[in-house]
Amino acid sequence: MSAEEKIKELGLELPPRPPKGGVYKSVVILNGLAYFSGHGPYKSDGSMYLGRIGDQVDQAFGYEAARQTGLAILSTLQGELGSLNRIKRVVKLLGLVNSAPDFYNHPAVINGCSELFAEVFGDDAGVGTRSAFGVAALPGNIAVEIEGIFEIG
């Protein structure tokens, strides 16, 4: 089953492409790899998941924010590539968690995005290497930011 068919089967809704927040390219394609810039948890209504995990919001909220970030990433890639079916595999994700100083479960938060990609692309192609860590703040107080690399064909 193709990635776009899988998204339909799962009943997922991709938000509109998120607006850019600075001077950068959302995606750079080089030698069969699509490098995508940091994305936040952009929703279809234009709002974002906001808050510091472990202080203002809980881990479950962060997980949902990371999942929504994954949908925003897919929206951008669909717009840039013309079809998500061009994605061969997830290569690398870097997840930043807006977290309280005493919150230490950053990987569990970023699992929201990783598990989404595994659902869409399969357990092999949808899971790549990954880092997840906490930061003191993110732009606009968004809960998470994720960037990464996909192999494309």
Residue 30 pLDDT level (bands cut at 50, 70, 90): very high
The reply to whether the predicted model has a pTM over 0.85 is: yes
DSSP state of 141: G
Q: How far apart are CA 84 and CA 88, in angstroms?
A: 9
Q: How far apart are CA 115 and CA 121, in angstroms?
A: 10
Mean pLDDT of 38-60: 97
pLDDT tens track for 58-93? 999 999 999 999 999 999 999 999 999 999 999 999
Structural domain boundaries of the chain?
Answer: 3-7+26-37+48-140
Residue 19 pLDDT level (bands cut at 50, 70, 90): confident
The alpha carbon of residue 58 and the mean position of all alpha carbons in its chain are separated, in whole angstroms, by 19
CATH topology of domain 3-7+26-37+48-140: 60s Ribosomal Protein L30; Chain: A; (3.30.1330)
Strand runs labelled E in 31-117: 33-39, 87-98
> Which pLDDT belongs to residue 75?
97
Supply the mean pLDDT for the chain.
Answer: 97
Does residue 21 have a pLDDT over 90? no
Strand runs labelled E in the chain: 27-30, 33-39, 87-98, 129-135, 144-152
The phi and psi torsions of 96 (rounded to 5 degrees) equal -110, 130
CA angle (75, 98, 46) in 5-degree steps: 35
Does residue 20 have a pLDDT over 90? no
> Which pLDDT belongs to residue 111?
98
DSSP state of 18: P
Does residue 1 have a pLDDT over 90? no
